[in-house]
Copies of this chain bind each other. A is one copy, B any other.
Amino acid sequence: MIKTEKMKGTSHKPLRTLQSMLLGHPLATADAPNQTIGKLIGLAVFSSDALSSVAYGPQEVFVVLSLTGLINLHYALPIAFGIAVLLVILTFSYEQTIHAYPGGGGAYIVARDNLGELPAQTAGAALLTDYVLTVSVSISSGVAQLVSAFPVLFTYRVWIAVGMILFIMMINLRGVKESGAAFAVPTYFFLVMMTVTILIGLARALFGGLGAVVNPPPVDITLIQPLTLFIILRAFANGTSSLTGVEAISNGITAFKEPRSKNAGITLLWMAGILGSMLLAISFLATHIHAIPAESETVISQLARTIYDGRGILYLATIASTTIILMMAANTAFADFPRLGALHAGDGFLPRQFTFRGSRLVYSNGIIALAVIASLLVVIFQASVTNLIPLYAIGVFLSFTLSQAGMARRWWKCGHLAPGVEVKEPGSTLRFEKGWVTKMVINGFGSFCTLVVMVVFAATKFKDGAWIVILLTPILVTIFFSIHRHYKHLAKQLSLDHKYEITRARRNRVIIAIGGVHRGTLAALQFARTVSDDITAVHVSIDPNETAKIERKWDYWGDGYRLVILNSPYRLMLEPLLEYIDKIDAHSQPGDLITIVVPQFVAKHWWTEWLHMRNAEMLRKALLHKENVVITEVPYQVS
C-alpha cells in the first residue's frame, strides 16, 4: 500500500519570468556547499563583521569625547586599550566554546543546552535584534565612507543606503554560493589597505612628517559638556561596538577543515590579534592627526587623506576597501539572521514560514524581513551611525553574557560527572574534564565582564536609544513564547491520539459562482460534475440586461442544471452570495459538504494577473471559519 519513491530535489520549471530575471532561475542541484575551508579562507569568511567595525568603533568613541571639547579626544587611546583587554577576555572564553561545541556553538544553542528555554530565547531575541542593527550600522558606515570621498552624495545618503540593502537582499535571495574566494578577495583587500595605511601612518608619525588633518570637517557639536566618568564610560560603550562579530567563528565551526575545533580556534586568535592591533593603531593615529568626528567625513577618510597627503589613488582604494568590507559585514547578517530565525522557527518559537527554503535554497522570508526592518531603521535614523550606535551591541553583549554563563554552567556539570560517564546533549557531549574549575572561571569571568559592559551600555546610552532595545527584547521573548504556546495548542487540537470519530461525507452540494457564461464557466461546470450531481449555478445580478443574457446562455450551455439569480440592488457582489450560502448551509446535516466552485481565467502573462479579481480568495476569507464549506478555484488558461 505504501510506495516510496526517490526523487532528486531538483526544482520545477521557472515559476515566474520576472522572478527569474531578478533572482535567477531556481537552482538545479543546489546542495549546501560541503567542501570545508582552511584557516586563511575561514578568516576571510567569518571576520568581515568584526574587522569592519574598526570603521566606526573608534570614530564613535571620538563622537562622545568631542561632546566635552576637542581637547579631550586623546582619551580615545586609553579607552581603546580597555576595549582590547575586553577582547582578550572574550577570545579566551570563546576558545573554550569552540572546543566544547565542535558542531557549532552559537549563543542560542549553548544557552538552550545549559540554561533552558527562557535564556535561549532571550539570547536569540537579542541576537536577531543585533543582526538587524549590524546591517543598518554597517551600511550606514559604508555610505558614510563613500560620502567622505564624494561629498556630493551626502544628500542622497539615505537612499544609497537603502539601495545597498536591497542589493544585498537580492544577492541573498538569489542564493550566495559561499565560495571562499568571494569572501577572501574583499577581506584581504581591506586587510592589505589597512595594513599599508597604518604602517605608513605609524612610520610618518614616528619619524615626523604626519601633521594634523588638513581642512577638517566642521565640528558638529557646539555645546560643551564637562568630562565626567559617565562620558568616559559612554565613549567606552560606543567603542565596544567593535567587538560585535567576535562570536561569528564559534557559530561556523563546521565549515572548517579537520581538526576543525583547532583550526577554528587558531583563526579566532588571528582575528582577535588583527582586530585588537587595528583598533589600537587607528585610535592612536586618529588622535595624532587630530581627526574630527563628523557626519560629513569619517575618521577613516580623514586618516587616509592625511597619511596619503590627499585624495589620491591609495586614498580611494582605502575608502573602497572599507566600504566593501562593511557591505560584506551586512551580508554576513543576511546569512546569520535567517539561519537563526529558522532555528527558532524549527523549535516552534517563530512562524514556521521561516523554516521554508525557497526554490533557490535560501530562507527567503527571513532575508526579506531583515532587509525591510534594516531599511526602515536606516530611513528613521537617516543613515547616521552616531544615531544608530546607541541601539547597537546591547543585544550582542547580552548574548555574550548568556552564552558564556551557559559555558560556565556546562563546566560545572562536567566537573560533577563521574570519570568515564558521557552525557549527550543536542549540541555537545559532556564528560568529566580535568581543570574544569579553571575553565569555569574563565567563562564565568568573561560572562561577568560582558554583563558589566552591558549594564554600562544600558545606563550610559539609555536615553539616546538603548531604551528601545531594552524594551524590545522582553517583548520579543514574550511573542516567541506566545507563538510556541499557539503551536503546542494547535498540535493537541489536531491530534488523533485521543478518541476521534470520523464524520463520513454524506453528500456534497456544489455551488458554481458565475459572473457570466463563457469558456471558463464551462470548465468549472465540467469540474463540478466530477464532484457531485447536486449542482447549482449562482449569479449575482447587478445589471438586468446582462442577467437576461446570462439566463439565455445558461439555458443553452448549462446542461440542464439549476441557475439561481441573486438580485443585488446595491451593486454588492460578495454579500448576496454569502447570504445564499448561509441559507443553504442552515439545512446541512452532519456529513454534508458544500463546495463552492469559482471559475477563474488565468492570463498568460503574470503582469496581467493583477487586472483580474480573485473572487475565490475573497470568498475564502469570508468563509474560512465556516465548517464543511470548501472553495475551489477552477483555472481556465487564456492564451
Contact = CB atoms under 8 A, between A and B. Distances in A.
Interface of A: 1-12, 15-16, 26, 30-32, 351-353, 356-357, 359, 361, 483, 486-487, 490, 493-496, 500, 502-505, 507-508, 516-520, 522, 526-527, 529-532, 551, 553-555, 557-558, 560, 562-576, 578-580, 582, 593, 595, 601-604, 608, 610-613, 620-622, 624-625, 627, 629-639
A610 B494 contact: no
Given A359-B574, A494-B636, 13 more contacts: A1-B562, A3-B564, A5-B565, A5-B566, A7-B568, A356-B613, A361-B572, A486-B608, A494-B638, A508-B530, A604-B625, A627-B637, A630-B632
A5 B352 contact: no
A567 B5 contact: yes
The 5 closest A-B pairs by CB, nearest first: A9-B570, A494-B518, A12-B578, A508-B530, A505-B526
B508 A4 contact: no
A423 to B, nearest CB: 22
A496 B516 CA distance: 11
A622 B282 CA distance: 54
B638 A3 contact: no
Nearest to A532: B530
A6 B580 CA distance: 11
A2 B610 CA distance: 33
B6 A483 contact: no
19 contacts: A3-B565, A5-B580, A6-B567, A7-B566, A10-B575, A16-B621, A31-B570, A356-B573, A357-B572, A359-B574, A486-B611, A487-B611, A490-B638, A493-B638, A496-B518, A505-B529, A527-B593, A530-B593, A631-B632
Nearest to A605: B486
Contacts of A16: 621
A612 B352 contact: yes
Nearest to A345: B611
A500 B519 contact: yes
A494 B610 CA distance: 18
B635 A633 contact: no
Given A2-B554, A567-B5, A621-B15, A519 B496 contact: yes
A582 B11 CA distance: 12
A20 to B, nearest CB: 13
A357 B568 CA distance: 12
Nearest to A552: B2
B630 A633 contact: yes
Contacts of A563: 1-3
Nearest to A541: B4
A553 to B, nearest CB: 7
Chain multiplicity (copies): 2
A340 B104 CA distance: 61
A328 B15 CA distance: 46
Given A572-B357, A630-B633, A2 B493 contact: no
Contact of A517 (B11, B496, B573, B630): B496
A579 B12 contact: yes
Nearest to A567: B6
Contacts of A560: 1
Nearest to A348: B611
Given A357-B571, A563-B1, A630-B527, A557 B496 contact: yes
B567 A7 contact: yes
A117 B577 CA distance: 35
Contacts of A570: 9, 30-32, 357, 361
Nearest to A520: B494
A554 B1 CA distance: 10
B613 A625 contact: no
B518 A576 contact: no
A522 B502 contact: yes
B496 A553 contact: yes
A571 B637 CA distance: 31
B565 A490 contact: no
A601 B622 CA distance: 15
A12 B564 contact: no
A332 B134 CA distance: 45
B3 A562 contact: yes
Contacts of A568: 7, 9
Nearest to A355: B571
A574 B3 contact: no
A368 to B, nearest CB: 14
Nearest to A612: B352
B611 A572 contact: no
Contacts of A595: 527, 530, 632
A522 B505 CA distance: 11
Contacts of A6: 567
Contacts of A638: 490, 493-494
A284 to B, nearest CB: 39
Contacts of A612: 351-352
Nearest to A575: B11
Given A505-B529, A505-B530, A351 B575 contact: no
